[in-house]
Amino acid sequence: MHFLSIRFKLTLWYVLILGILLISFSTLLYFTLSNSLHRDVDNKLRSLAELIAAESSSPLSKFGFGSIDQALELSLDLKPIGKFIQVLDESGRVGRRSENLKNVQLPVSLQTLKNATQGIVTFETHRIGNLPLRIITYPVKENHHITRIIQIASSLEDVEEALNKLFLILLITVPSALVVASLGGQFLARKALKPVDQITHTARVITTKNLNQRIEPLKVKDEISRLVDTFNDMISRLDQSFNQIKQFTADASHELKTPLTILKGEVEVALRKVRSPSEYIQVLESNLEEINRMSKIVDDLLWLSKADIGEIKLQREEVNLTAIIQELVDQMSLIAQSKRIQIQTIHPNGGEEIRIYGDALRMRELFLNLIDNGIKYTEEGGEITIHLQKERMLSNQEGRNSSDGRKAEFAKVIISDTGIGISKEDQKKIFDRFYRVDKARSRGQGGSGLGLSICKWIVEAHQGEIEVESEPGKGSSFIVKLPLYNPPLT
Ligand SMILES: Nc1ncnc2c1ncn2[C@@H]1O[C@H](COP(=O)(O)OP(=O)(O)OP(=O)(O)O)[C@@H](O)[C@H]1O
Ligand SMILES: [Mg+2]
C-alpha cells in the first residue's frame, strides 16, 4: 500500500481515532475501578475503626497491652480476618495488637500522629516487605481528649492483583483490536475504492480507438456510482464527438473527391484526341462548374471550422431585416422565375419595418441559404412565401423580459415553400453537416449539405432559434426567431 494513497490515509485515520478512543476508555476504566476498589477498602477500614472505637464497656475502652483478638471476640464477637490492628496511646506508644502482626509494628509517621492528636483521621498506603498495606489511623476522643489511637491495616494485595490483571488484559486487547481494525480498515477502504481503481484502469486503456468502453455501473447509488456515471457520460460525449469528427472528415473527403473525379474524367477524355475550340470551351466550362463547386465546399468548410474555434466574430449593429429580405427576394426572383416559382413576402404587422441587433452580412447569408433551399427543393410552378412579423414571448417565456424591463419581443421569419417536403426522420438531421436527404438530387442542384449547418450557427450566435415544419409532398416551412433591436429608452 502506497503511503500517499487514500486507502493508507483512510486506514491511518480510522486506526488513529479508534486508538485514541480505546486508550481513553481503558484509562477511564482502570482509574474508575482502582478508585472504587480503594474507596471500598477505606470504607471497610473506617467502619471497623468506628466499631472498635464505639465499644466502651470492655477492655477495648482503655489503653492496655497484649493481644486484641480475644478482646474483640469477647466484647464485639468480631474476628476481623486479614486485618492488622494495633492500638496506641496519644503519645504513639503501641499497646494492644492483633496476633497476626507478630513482631511487626504498623508504621506511624509523625505527621499521622500529629493529625491523630488533632482528631483527624488519616489514610496511608505503606509497603511492608512485599505486602502493600492500607492503614487507617483513627483517634478516639473521650471528653474532648484523645484517649487512644486505633490503627487498622488491610492488605491491598487483592486490589493490586485485580488492577494488574485488568492492565494486562487491556495491554493485550487494545493493540490487538487496533491491529484487527487496521486490517479491517484496509479491507473496507480497498472495497470502497475498488471502483475508483476500475475507473483509473479504464481511463488508462481508453484511447480514441476504444471509446466505446464503459465502466460497469454500480448497483448501489452513492458518491462513487455518481463518479462512475459522470465518467461514463464523459466518455459517451467524447465518443460522440470523435464519431462526428470521423464522419465529418469522411464526408468532406467524399464531397471533394466527387468533383475531382469528374474533373479528372472530363480532362482525360478531352485529351484523348485533338478537339475543336468549341469542344474545349465546353470542357472548360464544365470544369469551371466543378471547380466552383469545390471552391464553395472549401469556403463553407473553412467558415464552419472558423466558427467552431470562435474565430468568426459578429459585427453587430441595428439591422433592418425587412430591407435585407426584400433585397434578397428581388435578387433571387430571377433564378426563381427560371423555374416559374413565385416568391411573395407577407407583413402581417402592416408593413412596419422589423429591426434586429445583429450582423447584416450573416443575416443575408442566413436568408439567402433558406430562400435558395426553397427554390432548389420546389418543383416548377411552385410558390415561396416569406412571413415577416413581430411576436411577443409566450406566457411561459414571460420571464425573459429585456434588461430594461420591457416585455421581450422577437422577430419571426417563416420561409414556406410548396416543395418536396422533408420526412419527420430527416427533419432531425438536416441541420447536421453534409446531411442531404437525396444526395443525387441535391448535388444536381449544386448543394453539399452545409447550408443549413451554417444557418443554424448564425441563428444561435444571434441568440435565436431555427426550426422546421414539413410534410413530404406538400412543402416545408423554416421558422427563424431572432431577438428584436431594442433602442435605448430616452
Ligand atoms: N426547403 C426544403 N425543402 C425540402 N428539403 C430541404 C429544404 N431545405 C433543405 N432541405 C433538405 O435538407 C438538406 C440539407 O440542406 P442544406 O441547405 O444544408 O444543404 P444543400 O442545400 O443540399 O447544400 P448547400 O446548402 O450546402 O448548397 C438538403 O439536401 C435537402 O435534402
Ligand atoms: Mg442549401
Which of 52 and 15 is assigned the larger pLDDT?
15
- Tens of pLDDT, residue by residue over 70-121, are 777 777 777 777 889 998 888 888 888 888 888 788 888 889 889 988 889 9
- pLDDT above 80 (res 475): yes
- Alpha carbon of 336 to those of 249, 441, 469: distances in Å? 34, 18, 22
User: Which among 420, 468, 470, 430 has a CA at the least distance from the CA of 451?
Assistant: 430
Minimum-distance ligand to the CA of 374? 1
Q: Whose CA is nearest to atom 19 of ligand 1?
A: 449
Q: What spacing in Å lies between the alpha carbon of 365 and ligand 1's midpoint? A: 14
CA-to-CA separations, 358 to 104, 168, 355, 464, 483, in angstroms, rounded: 115, 86, 9, 11, 9
Nearest bound ligand to CA 422?
1
Give residue 399's pLDDT band: very low, low, confident or very high (50, 70, 90): very low
pLDDT digits (tens, 9 = 90+) for 267-284: 999 999 999 999 999 999
**What's the CA-to-centroid distance between 449 and ligand 1, angstroms?**
6
Of the bound ligands, which one is closest to the alpha carbon of residue 446?
A: 1
Which atom of ligand 1 is the closest one to the Cα of 446? 27
Burial class (CB in 10 A: 0-12, 13-18, 19+), 30: middle
Q: Which atom of ligand 1 is nearest to the CA of 436?
A: 29
Minimum CA distance residue for ligand 1 atom 25: 451
193 Cβ contact list (under 8 Å, min separation 6): 6, 7
Q: In 275-382, at which residue ranges do the beta strands (DSSP E only) sit?
A: 317-320, 342-346, 355-358
Of the chain, the end-to-end C-alpha distance in Å amounts to: 72
| Residue 152, CB-side half-sphere exposure with 13 Å CA sphere | 24
Atom of ligand 1 lying closest to residue 451 CA: 25
Q: What atom in ligand 1 is closest to the CA of residue 452?
A: 18
Amino acid at 265: G
Find out whether 336 and 343 touch, Cβ atoms under 8 Å.
yes
Of 220, 170, 180, 173, which Cα lies nearest the Cα of 11? 180
Whether the pLDDT of residue 350 is over 80: the answer is no
* Ligand 1 atom with minimal separation from the 443 CA: 22
Between the CA of 371 and the centroid of ligand 2 the distance, in Å, is 9
Note whether 414 and 371 are within 8 A (CB): no
Q: Are strands 145-155 and 83-89 parallel, antiparallel or unpaired?
A: antiparallel
Ligand 2: centre distance to CA 323 (Å) = 22
Nearest ligand, CA 377: 1
473, pLDDT greater than 90: yes
The whole-angstrom separation of Cα 175 and Cα 411 is: 78
Mean pLDDT lowest among 176-185, 331-340, 420-429, 479-488: 479-488
Q: Which residue has the higher pLDDT, 2 or 310?
A: 310
Q: Do 151 and 127 meet the contact criterion of CB atoms below 8 Å apart?
A: no
**Among candidate residues 479, 477, 337, 343, the one with its CA nearest the CA of residue 421:** 477
Contact 75, 57 (CB under 8 A): yes
Cell of 326: 426584400
What does 219-264 look like in DSSP terms, one character per residue? SS-SHHHHHHHHHHHHHHHHHHHHHHHHHHHHHHHHHHHHHHHHHH
Ligand 1 centroid to 279 CA: how many Å?
33
Least distant ligand from the CA of 453: 1
> Which candidate, 345, 346, 341, 348, places its Cα nearest to that of 373?
341
> 42 and 134 in contact (C-beta within 8 Å)?
yes
Run of H or E residues at 89: strand 83-89
CA 370 to centroid of ligand 1, rounded, Å: 8
Distance 359 CA to ligand 2 centre (A): 20
How much is the average pLDDT of 225-247?
88
pLDDT exceeds 80 at position 396: no
List strands edge to edge, sheet with 342-346. 342-346, 383-392, 409-417, 475-483, 465-471
User: What is the atom index within ligand 1 of the atom nearest the CA of 421?
Assistant: 4
Where residue 360 falls (left for φ over 0; alpha for ψ -120 to 50; beta otherwise) is alpha
Q: How confident is the model at residue 391 (pLDDT cuts 50, 70, 90)?
A: confident
User: Which percentage of the chain shows pLDDT scores above 90?
Assistant: 52
In order of their start, the domains of the chain are 6-162 (3.30.450.20), 223-306 (1.10.287.130), 313-483 (3.30.565.10)
Strand pairing class (342-346; 383-392):
parallel
DSSP conformation class of 487: P
pLDDT at position 291, please? 94
> For 342, phi and psi rounded to 5 degrees?
-90, 135
Q: Hey, what's the cell of 324?
A: 435585407
d(CA 343, CA 332): 9
Residue 221 binned pLDDT confidence (cut-offs 50, 70, 90): confident
Nearest CA to ligand 1 atom 13: 436
Ligand 2 geometric centre to CA of 372 (Å): 6
**Nearest residue to 473 via CA among 431, 420, 427:** 420
Joined grid coordinates for residue 101: 502482626
Lining ligand 1 with CB less than 6 A are 369, 373-374, 376-377, 417, 419-422, 430, 435-438, 442, 447-452, 476
Chain segment 170-184, per-residue pLDDT in tens = 999 999 999 999 999
CA-437 nearest atom, ligand 1: 31
Q: Under 8 Å CB-to-CB from 104, ≥6 apart: which residues? A: 128
- Are the C-beta atoms of 470 and 427 separated by less than 8 Å? yes
Residue 417 Cα to ligand 1 midpoint, Å, equals 13
β-partners of residue 106 are none
Q: What's the pLDDT tens digit per position in 33-71? A: 999 999 999 999 999 888 888 875 566 667 777 778 777
